[in-house]
């Protein structure tokens, strides 16, 4: 345990040295999301809350970032890598979601999206290498918000508190029938923001789409909420 190094005391020094604004906080359809890390001063306070630095490894929520130590400077090096990797998540997803990086305040949510993004779809799947739509929403609510929900998309729809589309908030679920015009629920996604949702797509795996896209607008059957103030 002697070789563990944590970022908390070092972060305090960063604040004293003049860094006054930090931030914490959904697809790989056509291409991998990109973007340059923004300036550190533009990020809301609290962005590094869930970052721990160990020799050779940085953990950001559920994401591990390689950080090979350098003799005599490993603490400084690992802190710098943690900071840069943390800043990259909001910048990486901001363009896909059509929002400013500073508005993506939930680091754990972004870390989980990064973890699952591009994972292959398979019916009934619930593993790190293969997952279906309702298992994905179940895992997201469990690992981001510590909320337990039923397993299937129909069960999730039935158990949720129904909300209007215009009242959707981060963590709500969106439900679809992708095979017929009936109200039977065959697909579910996890709403993020700005009309965008992340889901396990049969064709692209875990990816991000917009509710206004013709296919999803036609298939949309309702929205439900499990997270309540």
Residue 187 falls in the annotated catalytic set: yes
Catalytic-role residue among 19, 130, 133, 228: 133
Residue 133 falls in the annotated catalytic set: yes
Catalytic-role residue among 19, 130, 193, 199: 199
Residue 193 falls in the annotated catalytic set: no
Catalytic-role residue among 19, 187, 193, 228: 187
Q: Which of 125, 115, 117 is nearest to 204 (CA)?
A: 117
In 115-204 the beta strands, taken as DSSP E runs, fall at 120-121, 126-127, 130-131, 161-163, 173-176, 187-193, 196-201
Judge contact between 211 and 195, C-beta under 8 A.
Answer: yes
CB count within 10 Å of CB 137 equals 27
Between strands 173-176 and 51-54, the pairing is unpaired
Q: Write out the catalytic residue numbers.
A: 133, 187, 199
């Amino acid at each position: 345990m002697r070789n563990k190094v944590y970022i908390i005391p070092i972060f305090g020094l960063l604040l004293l040295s003049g860094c006054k604004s930090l931030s914490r906080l959904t697809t790989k359809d056509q291409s991998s999301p990109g973007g340059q890390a923004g300036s550190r001063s533009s990020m809301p306070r609290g962005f590094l809350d869930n970052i721990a630095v160990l020799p050779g490894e940085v953990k950001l929520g559920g994401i591990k970032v390689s950080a090979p130590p350098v003799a005599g400077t490993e603490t400084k090096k690992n802190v710098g890598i943690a900071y840069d990797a943390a800043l990259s998540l909001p910048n990486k997803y901001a363009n896909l979601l059509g929002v400013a990086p500073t508005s993506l305040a939930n680091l754990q949510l972004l870390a989980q999206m990064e973890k699952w993004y591009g994972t292959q779809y398979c019916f009934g799947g619930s593993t790190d290498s293969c997952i279906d739509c309702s298992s994905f929403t179940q895992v997201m609510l469990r690992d981001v918000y510590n909320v337990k929900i039923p397993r299937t998309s129909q069960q999730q729809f039935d158990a949720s508190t129904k909300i209007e589309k215009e009242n959707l908030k981060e963590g709500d679920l969106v439900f679809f029938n992708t095979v017929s015009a009936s109200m039977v629920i065959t697909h579910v996604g996890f709403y993020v923001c700005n009309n965008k949702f992340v889901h396990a797509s049969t064709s692209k795996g875990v990816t991000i789409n917009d509710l206004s896209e013709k296919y999803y607008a036609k298939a949309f059957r309702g929205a439900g909420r499990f997270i309540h103030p």
